[in-house]
Amino acid sequence: HDCLPVYFRQRWPSSRRKTRFTGGVERTLVAVKPDGVQRRYVGQIIQRFEKRGFKLVGLKMLQASDGLLSQHYRELVKKPFYPNLVDYMTSGPVVAMVWEGLNVVQSSRRMVGPTNPAEAPAGTVRGDLSLHVSRNVVHASDSVEGAEREIKLWFEGKELLNWECYDHSLTYKEDK
């Protein structure tokens, strides 16, 4: 709390910074895929989530391994397109992020849009930035349970930060 600059400590006293919000606060995995990284969309994607009011609690750039991908895409391993998916996901770096917020899983899926960019509305990440279903720029967890599983695959617990965002009490309605 004392790590906040003096300006923020004066404007948001500790009593407001410690307010707890319950119900619907979740974490989700969002990953910018190799085509999104290559096309330099990482900053734009981060900006969309920040503008929505979500809090970034984990971020890293990595080269995804075959082992990680086989666990991440475990329900697709036997599909005929799986080898192409692995080739694509290992073709360059991936930027993995964990976002936290009220109903962040469902909201993120709406923000990202359908898997097929041809079906993704304008204003969604895929509707605005994707070219083809096999190059759809970004991944977002599809359920709270899926998010929990995926976050554990991509991040070690110590890589996720618990921090208080100074504008949290302005962004979220307080539960009393």
Active-site residues: which are they? 139
User: Sign of the CA dihedral 68, 141, 119, 73?
Assistant: positive
Contact predicate 45/125, CB 8 Å: yes
136 is in an annotated binding site: yes
33 is in an annotated binding site: yes
126 is in an annotated binding site: yes
109 is in an annotated binding site: yes
SS3 call for 31: strand
In order, the DSSP letters of 87-148 are HHHTSS-EEEEEEEEETHHHHHHHHH--SSGGGSPTTSHHHHH--BTTB-SEEE-SSHHHHH
Gap between the Cα atoms of 27 and 120, Å rounded: 23
SS3 call for 25: strand
Backbone angles phi, psi at 95, to 5 degrees: -105, 110
Instruction: Extract the annotated binding site.
Output: 33, 81, 109, 115, 126, 136
Instruction: Extract the annotated binding site for ATP.
Output: 33, 81, 109, 115, 126, 136
